[in-house]
Structure 1
Amino acid sequence: MLELWKAFIIGIVEGLTEFLPVSSTGHMILVGNMIGFTGEKADTFEIVIQLGAILSVVVLYWKRCLRLFGYRDKNAPVSPSGRSLNLLHILIGILPAGLIGFVLHDYVKMLFRPETVLIGLVAGGIFMIIGEKQTPAETAPTMDDLTYRQCLYIGFAQILSLWPGFSRSGSTIAAGMLTGASRGASADFTFLMAIPLMVAATGYDLYKNLDQFSSGDLLPFGVGFVVSFIVALMAVATFIKLVSRLKLTYFSYYRFAIAVLFLAYMLAGGF
């Protein structure tokens, strides 16, 4: 049975980092190894509770989610292009990473180690700096202005996030900016796109590993899920605004610092 206090701690870590381009998965792996929260169950737990944090986006974006299914919000602002994001945009965005993740599921789970996370933190940070520095002329100021081609490019960049530590939001926001989308449009699309992707990832991972769990694991999983949801719910609005306004380079510097600190910890005999 997974220990409740460990589930509680990891739930807090997930809730606080899910909406920042610093890799919530990477942080959970590093913290999990520090407190002895490792193994196949822990890896699955770290995927499952991400859904709890992502569901807080549904609370924030519920009208926006309904608009994808035809709901008309009279108070919704009209994009400069006159376009509106639809389900096809979301499907195009999630398909590349979804397919690769499905095919390479077992290999990806093998990467859930501190060493690979540190590589991902640095590599992802460099990619984010490139996205910030090489931004072309802005063509999509809002999420509704995104074209299908831009969504496809963002979707391909999301494949990078299968490497733990790279960060889903970091890779997709940087890619969106490289295609001409604004930082805010890229962030909004990233978090909206994460909802179906994490539902699918959680369901598939539970299906693949269901035989490894017992009824005693339900409580820790529930605790982690609820804690990540509550913490994320309190942080989501502020953090998404923060990501939309702050340059990605600031988050890159944080990632580099964390990588150096944990490398020193590992060299000193940690983990």
Structure 2
Amino acid sequence: MDIVLALKALIMGLVEGFTEFLPISSTGHLILAGSLLEFTGEKVKVFEIAIQAGAMLAVIWEYRARIANVVSGLGSDPKAQRFALNVVVGFLPAAILGLLFNKVITAVLFKPVPVATAFIVGGLIILWVERRARNNPVAVRIQSVDDMTLMDALKVGCAQAFALIPGTSRSGATIIGGMMLGLSRKAATEFSFFLAIPTLLGATFYSLFKQRELLSAADLPMFGVGTLSAFVSAFLCVRWLLRYISSHDFTIFAWYRIVFGIVVIATAHFGLVNWAE
């Protein structure tokens, strides 16, 4: 692996890690970053999905004690059983719809301008939800992920399915969707973290298996660099986000999405940046 390829893999991993758990769309940022770096193609699409495993491992490490308690209590602890079942139920809608519509979504929507449009629409939705939360704070009925029912988990899982549209943001869909359904900001954020484990793991293994003919042993260093950088940056981001939500809302991310989306569309329209598709 030459130094230029290593740097591109490193940058893409950092982009993945720093954006995966923020409501700003990691997939959208990877598509745009790949376009700017001229790092595109079918193998790169597999790479972008595979390095999500690094971000997923960061969540496992951050919540390792909680996850260990759940695993050890699956045989006898009703609380652990309900938590695990909630995560599985929340994972299913995106998994099923992803398997059914992955080809269509990849062919039509994995392009810079549709991604930028999703950025803007998602930002407007976040602004609306945050305004709603300020005006009606009593709407919160679930303070902890342990208080969620199976129906709550299924509804948040359906919200996560909207993230199949590139630029929507998996974490944004689950966090904002959860808040709309009555979860506290902290509960919605933490459940989004836990949903990331099966979602990102499943996407990684499915993509690697499906596109295995494109890959070879020579690709391992590139994938390793991207996964490692995604792990480190995601770990830092998760730690920061947990502190941030204790005293802030997501309005700043909404405006970031809107401004960033407008910039991408404007530069593409006037030919200032050649966003590769």
| TM-score computed with the length of structure 1 as normaliser | 0.90
Aligned length: 262
Superposed displacement of residue 190, structure 1: 0.4
Matched, 1:89 2:73: no
Superposed displacement of residue 166, structure 1: 0.2
> Aligned residue for 2:41?
39
Matched, 1:5 2:7: yes
Q: Kindly indicate whether the alpha-carbon contact (under 8 Å) linking 1:56 and 1:229 is maintained by their aligned counterparts in 2.
A: yes
Secondary structure of the 1:115 match is helix
Relative distance call for 1:134 and 1:83 in structure 2 (3 A) is farther
Structure 1 ranges of 4+ moved more than 6 A: none
Q: Kindly indicate whether the alpha-carbon contact (under 8 Å) linking 2:12 and 2:34 is maintained by their aligned counterparts in 1.
A: yes
Secondary structure of the 1:166 match is coil
Cα distance in 1 for residues equivalent to 2:190 and 2:246: 8
Matched, 1:161 2:159: no
Q: Which amino acid aligns with 1:130?
A: W
Q: Which amino acid aligns with 1:127?
A: I
Matched, 1:132 2:130: yes
Q: Kindly indicate whether the alpha-carbon contact (under 8 Å) linking 1:143 and 1:185 is maintained by their aligned counterparts in 2.
A: yes
Relative distance call for 1:244 and 1:263 in structure 2 (3 A) is farther
Cα distance in 1 for residues equivalent to 2:20 and 2:202: 17
Alignment of 1:188-267 (within 5 A): 188-243=190-245, 245-267=247-269
Give the helix-richer structure, 1 or 2: 2
Q: Kindly indicate whether the alpha-carbon contact (under 8 Å) linking 1:128 and 1:171 is maintained by their aligned counterparts in 2.
A: no
The two structures, once aligned, show a CA RMSD in angstroms of 2.0
Unaligned runs of 5+ in 2: none
Cα distance in 2 for residues equivalent to 1:179 and 1:226: 35
Q: Which amino acid aligns with 1:131?
A: V
Matched, 1:103 2:100: yes
Relative distance call for 1:68 and 1:107 in structure 2 (3 A) is farther
Cα distance in 1 for residues equivalent to 2:151 and 2:130: 20
Q: Select between 209-218 and 166-175 the one with higher mean Cα deviation.
A: 209-218
Cα distance in 2 for residues equivalent to 1:242 and 1:71: 31
The one-character-per-residue Cα deviations of 1:5-30 (angstroms, maximum 9, x if unpaired) are 11111111111111211111111111
| TM-score computed with the length of structure 2 as normaliser | 0.88
Cα distance in 1 for residues equivalent to 2:85 and 2:238: 25
The one-character-per-residue Cα deviations of 1:227-270 (angstroms, maximum 9, x if unpaired) are 11112223321123324542222211110011112122212322
Q: Percent same amino acid at aligned positions? A: 38
> Aligned residue for 1:117?
115
Matched, 1:148 2:145: no
Q: Kindly indicate whether the alpha-carbon contact (under 8 Å) linking 2:19 and 2:26 is maintained by their aligned counterparts in 1.
A: yes
Q: Kindly indicate whether the alpha-carbon contact (under 8 Å) linking 2:34 and 2:40 is maintained by their aligned counterparts in 1.
A: yes
Cα distance in 1 for residues equivalent to 2:232 and 2:207: 23
Cα distance in 2 for residues equivalent to 1:129 and 1:107: 29
Q: Kindly indicate whether the alpha-carbon contact (under 8 Å) linking 2:124 and 2:258 is maintained by their aligned counterparts in 1.
A: no
